[in-house]
Amino acid sequence: MAERPKRTATAARARVRAAKRPHPGRSLILLEDISKTYDGGHVAVNALSEINIDINEGEYVAIMGPSGSGKSTLMHIIGCLDTPSAGFYYLKGQEISKYNNDQLARVRNREVGFIFQSFNLLPRLSASQNVEIPLLYSSVPVDEREERVAMMLSKVGLADRGHHRPNELSGGESQRVAIARALANNPSIILADEPTGNLDSKTEEEIMKLLDDFNKQGVTVIVVTHDESVASHAKRTIRLRDGKII
């Protein structure tokens, strides 16, 4: 009779870990033991170490930490702009931590809307054309694109500014365009990286109220910030220091 293959200690540990792992279908975002290491030449740089986060659909979460805490790296992994060195990332029940670049690009365009501190609008395009970009990548038919762009600009209070280019808009208006673009594809997640960093306090409140309103409509919002006043809008705060949750 053929001899059974020996069960190694490593395989046994893997089975134990799998048994303990939370079921990914219960969460919108599930990170388990996520680590990220960068090659710093002679010394490896540990940007994240064994991060465990569970975010449900419709939550409003702030990720806080000083410079170098790992919050930008964490945002890039959640937003599928980067991949972890170790650990598991589940999005809507699918393990995407091992996806290739093409697969990650499709997930990014379909599931994640980004809002950046510097707006990241294309200067030669109008506000409407900037909002339309994710719809073009998704091959949405032209009539539906036009309808959705008009709807999103109306929702952010810029129905009459669609033909203006970024240099003809104020900072607050530019960030409103960026929010409309982020929401154009009906993503599962809005990832906002220091969304009010370049705005005055009055405009900051206007932008945060927009994010509050969209969250009340069921959109999952994750804000990455060092600003306590911005984080106060979230229902839960995750704090990082030296690549670890504290």
Confidence of residue 26 (pLDDT cuts 50, 70, 90): low
Q: Distance (Å, rounded) from C-alpha 134 to C-alpha 126? A: 14
Q: Distance (Å, rounded) from C-alpha 71 to C-alpha 225? A: 8
The token duo for 239 is 């704090």
Instruction: Note the helical H segments in the chain.
Output: 9-20, 71-78, 101-111, 127-137, 142-155, 171-183, 201-216, 228-231
Beta-strand relationship, 244-245 and 236-241: antiparallel
In a 10 Å sphere around its CB, with 0-12 CB exposed, 13-18 middle and 19+ buried, how is residue 61 labelled? buried
Q: Which residue has the higher pLDDT, 16 or 147?
A: 147
- Give pLDDT tens digits for 70-123: 999 999 999 999 999 999 999 999 999 889 999 999 999 999 999 998 899 999
Q: Which residue has the higher pLDDT, 9 or 226?
A: 226
In the chain, the domains with their CATH numbers are: 58-82+100-245 (3.40.50.300)
The token duo for 83 is 């991949």
- Give pLDDT tens digits for 175-200: 999 999 999 999 999 999 999 888 88
